[in-house]
Structure 1
Amino acid sequence: MTERASTRCLLFADVAGGVRLAVKLGEAEAGYAVERCLNRMSRCAEAYSASGLELRSDVLVAHFPDADSALLAAREMRERVRALPPMSGIKLVLRAGVVPDPEGEDMEEDPEKLAARLVESHNPDTIAVSENLSPLLSPSMRRLLGRLDESSSAVPFPVLELGEAPPPTPAELRLDALQAQKQLRVSFRGQIWLIDAAHPTLLFGRETGNDIVVSDPRVSRQHARIELRAGLFYLADSSTNGTYLLEEGSAEHCVKREEFALSEKGHIGCGFSVADNMLDAVAFAID
């Protein structure tokens, strides 16, 4: 959550089709049509807290406080430009590029130039996004991105495209924010693991490939896991002997070949009762 909030993003968008329109209708009429697009685009940018907003002939440049806002603004800009009717059979369309714009960091190339290169190297009506923007997005927004064909691109880094699916609802974004803030602290034999939005799964079992390795013959090789999903932490058992769960204020019970939503605090026994072997029990607590 902190990373997404602290990294600004830059949007570079232009209106394609103005030159063809000028040839057909004259520069004055074409200029008026492009200006109408830019006005719609600037209102979208302002609605998503843009700063440093600049309009230059057929180009809009704006900075946004976070990646979600930049992509939501770009998507709405595209929809508003699409809604304008064609003039003399010529349709004006938006093309945009979005890149991270970290403050106070030295970059090999200016963010605006990078975003402009994204625009120039891809088809009109495309919102191109540099791949390093993806980790800065909420999970709901990240699901809207797809990979662009790199064969026709002159940009020397991976590029994603903002697709046509509907944007996340306010409820989905609130859930993302809640999930990004939640942490489950897991401890075993003096070591501590954190389960959160960045590391949503923790595996434990007898096999060495697990995050937590419990050396007990009653423990299956891949015994169980804890997952963060939709703001809740789930204990999911996949073992032979089941997973014993002792939560604060509740009686111990066995979770076997099913999953169970964890409460605030407790202990987990892999194939054995927590009361019988507290030394090898896995402790957890929601921060």
Structure 2
Amino acid sequence: MVSTTRNLAILFADISGSTKLYELLGNDEARAIVDHCLTIAKRACEDFGGRVVKTIGDEVMAAFPTADSAAQAAIEIQTGISKQRTSRGTPVAMHIGFHSGQAIEDENDVFGDCVNVAARMTAFASAGQIFTSAHTTAELSPVLRQRTRDQDAQTLKGKERDIGLFEVIWGDAEDELTAMSPRLARTPPKVTLTHAARAIELSEERSLLTLGRDARNDVVIADRKASRMHARIERRRDKFVFIDQSSNGTWVTVEGEPEITLRREELILRGRGQISFGHAFADDPTEIVVFTCQG
């Protein structure tokens, strides 16, 4: 089969807490419940024009021609699963995510960035929830779009920009939409780093910086106690995080606070301050990085 690329909506439906089911109910009943839930999910996908690509453990992956059909299938899955109970009377739940975009179909499987983002939408969802992206929400028909609520933006690994997250409301939960208060606008994060006479600004456009003795780093630290790949600074939603990956550690001073030592640890940068590599600031104040956070 020759691979083809086209627009699809990719959906993942995963049973929540399946490991706990096996622990509480035993293998036979848990397996029967999992199989029954997967059957409900697969049938709903097919009823709304989707193709079940595969089942992965306790998860179903399906491809749909439109975002609407994926959303309708997701709602149908949650409606069906919400009626299921174990022999102990406890409810069973699934968490679902879907995302639309260009995908590669090859040998009955589907690949590409669209699939990866859909999987991340599923990971963000809790039991009983359906999550999708802002991009996909914009493709929904007005009736279905009214059933969504903004869940702010999330940072996805490998993505320069945050991805807006929306929850699809299903069942009798529409009242929750009107009860939601307006979400405050998020101030885009920025941090300015100064090393010697050079100033570097990190923001949503540039969200990663590496520091160390090696010449391949964005900021080269000329201190023999610094490691070759000493640390990195990366954006996570509306914050920038300093991540030490060195042998000797990093000393960070936030203005007005005591100096902090990091050894293979992380610190959210805030306010103003300075960073020393491999030793305390007082031991050698010449080779430092000064930071100023905004937002």
The answer to whether the Cα contact below 8 Å between 1:42 and 1:60 also exists between their aligned partners in 2 is yes
Displacement of 1:135 in angstroms is: 2.3
* Structure 2 CA distance for partners of 1:81 and 1:104, relative to 1, 3 Å: closer
Aligned residue in 2 for 1:133: 136
User: Separation in 1 of the partners of 2:168 and 2:121?
Assistant: 13
The answer to whether the Cα contact below 8 Å between 1:20 and 1:90 also exists between their aligned partners in 2 is no
User: Which of residues 148, 152, 166 in structure 2 aligns to 1:145?
Assistant: 148
Matched positions, count = 159
* Structure 2 CA distance for partners of 1:89 and 1:111, relative to 1, 3 Å: same
What TM-score, normalized by structure 2, do the two folds share? 0.49
Higher helix share: 1
Aligned residue in 1 for 2:41: 41
Displacement of 1:140 in angstroms is: 1.3
- SS of corresponding position for 1:164: coil
Aligned residue in 2 for 1:159: 165
Aligned residue in 2 for 1:14: 14
List aligned pairs for 1:270-285, cutoff 5 A. none
User: Separation in 2 of the partners of 1:110 and 1:102?
Assistant: 8
Identity among equivalent positions (%) equals: 26
Q: Deviations over 1:101-121 (max 9, x none)?
A: 32469xx96322221212222
Aligned residue in 1 for 2:30: 30
User: Separation in 2 of the partners of 1:133 and 1:126?
Assistant: 16
Aligned residue in 2 for 1:56: 56
Aligned residue in 1 for 2:81: 81
User: Separation in 1 of the partners of 2:82 and 2:104?
Assistant: 36
User: Separation in 1 of the partners of 2:129 and 2:122?
Assistant: 8
Range with greater deviation from structure 2 (72-81 or 88-97): 88-97
User: Separation in 1 of the partners of 2:17 and 2:87?
Assistant: 10
The answer to whether the Cα contact below 8 Å between 1:17 and 1:90 also exists between their aligned partners in 2 is no
Q: Deviations over 1:68-126 (max 9, x none)?
A: 10000000000000011244254220101110132469xx9632222121222232111
* Structure 2 CA distance for partners of 1:158 and 1:87, relative to 1, 3 Å: farther
Q: Deviations over 1:129-179 (max 9, x none)?
A: 1110122111111111111255xx554411001013679xxxxxxxxxxxx
Displacement of 1:26 in angstroms is: 1.4
The answer to whether the Cα contact below 8 Å between 1:12 and 1:112 also exists between their aligned partners in 2 is no
Aligned residue in 1 for 2:101: 101
Structure 2 residues not aligned, in runs of 5+ = 1-5, 106-110, 157-161, 174-295
- Code of the residue aligned with 2:41 in structure 1: it is M
* Structure 2 CA distance for partners of 1:43 and 1:165, relative to 1, 3 Å: closer
- SS of corresponding position for 1:158: strand
Aligned residue in 2 for 1:116: 119
* Structure 2 CA distance for partners of 1:21 and 1:52, relative to 1, 3 Å: closer
User: Separation in 1 of the partners of 2:69 and 2:7?
Assistant: 12
- SS of corresponding position for 1:63: strand
The answer to whether the Cα contact below 8 Å between 1:7 and 1:101 also exists between their aligned partners in 2 is yes
The answer to whether the Cα contact below 8 Å between 1:17 and 1:91 also exists between their aligned partners in 2 is no
Displacement of 1:45 in angstroms is: 0.4
Range with greater deviation from structure 2 (9-18 or 48-57): 48-57
Displacement of 1:53 in angstroms is: 2.8
The answer to whether the Cα contact below 8 Å between 1:52 and 1:63 also exists between their aligned partners in 2 is yes
User: Separation in 2 of the partners of 1:29 and 1:128?
Assistant: 29
User: Separation in 2 of the partners of 1:34 and 1:118?
Assistant: 21
Structure 1 residues not aligned, in runs of 5+ = 1-5, 168-287
User: Separation in 2 of the partners of 1:64 and 1:54?
Assistant: 13
The answer to whether the Cα contact below 8 Å between 1:144 and 1:162 also exists between their aligned partners in 2 is yes
4+ long deviations beyond 6 Å: none
* Structure 2 CA distance for partners of 1:37 and 1:123, relative to 1, 3 Å: same
Aligned residue in 2 for 1:197: none
Higher strand share: 2
* Structure 2 CA distance for partners of 1:13 and 1:19, relative to 1, 3 Å: same
